[in-house]
Structure 1
C-alpha cells in the first residue's frame, strides 16, 4: 500500500503542477511576489515541451506503481496517459498547449497592469 500511495501522491502532484502552470499566474494578481515562482514553473513547462525530457514526477509515479505491482505509465508519459485522448482529443495537443500559453500570458499581463496601477 505504501508504494501505491507514493504513486498516487505523484499523480496528484503532477495534476496540481499542471493546474498551477496553467492558472498560477492569476494568484500573482493577489500575491504579486508569487509571480517569480510562476515564471519558473512556466519556464520549466516550456522547456519540457521544447526539449521533451522526462518529468521527475512521472519517474516517481512509475517507481511507485512498479513496486506496488501495477502497470507503469506508457513511454509517452503522464499527459498522454491521463489527459490526451481523455480530457481533449490527442490530435489537439498543440492547440491545448497554445491555449495554456495564452492563459499564462493573460495572467502575466494582468500582473503587469495591476503593478502599473498600484
Structure 2
C-alpha cells in the first residue's frame, strides 16, 4: 500500500459507512410511514403504534423538512462529502455500493421542490397520527 493510500485509507470506508447510515435514515422515514399504514390495516403489528416509534418517525421527518425550508444541507451529506474529500476522492471515485446508494438517494431539482415534497410527506405522517394514534405501552403486571 502506498503512503498516500495508507494515509487516506479509513476515509473512504467511513464515507461509505456514513452513506449507509444516511440511507438507513431515509428508509426509516419512508418505510416507517408505510409500516404504520400497513401495520394498522392488517392489525397484526401493534408495535407500529408504539409511542417511541411514532415519535422517532415524526421527529425524523420534522428535522428533514425543517432543514429543507431553512436551506440547510443534511449534516450526514456534509460529513460524507468531507470524508470523501479527505480521501482525495472525486464524487465519481466511490465504491460500487456508495455509487448506487447515492444514485437512489440524491436527485437534482430546485430546492423548493424538496421543501414541498418533504413537507407533504410530513403532513402524511401527521395524518397517520390522526388516523392511527400512537399508544403508550402498558406495563404488564
TM bin (shorter chain): 0.5 to 0.7
Alignment map for 1:15-94 (pairs within 5 Å): 15-25=23-33, 26=36, 29-72=48-91, 82-85=105-108, 90=109, 93-94=113-114
Q: 1:9 aligns with which of 5, 8, 17?
A: 17
The whole-number CA distance in structure 2 between the counterparts of 1:96 and 1:47 is 12
Deviations 1:50-105 (A, max 9, x none): 102122111210121112111259xxxxx8994315xxxx47x4574365335423
Greater C-alpha radius of gyration: 2
- Structure 2, unmatched stretches of 5+, are 1-8, 40-46, 93-101, 136-141
1:43 deviates by 1.6
Runs of 4+ residues deviating >3 angstroms: 79-82, 93-99
More helix by share: 1
CA RMSD of aligned residues (A): 3.3
Shift of 1:24: 2.2
Distance (Å, rounded) in 2 between the aligned partners of 1:20 and 1:81: 15
Q: TM (normalized to structure 2)?
A: 0.56
Unaligned runs of 5+ in 1: 74-78
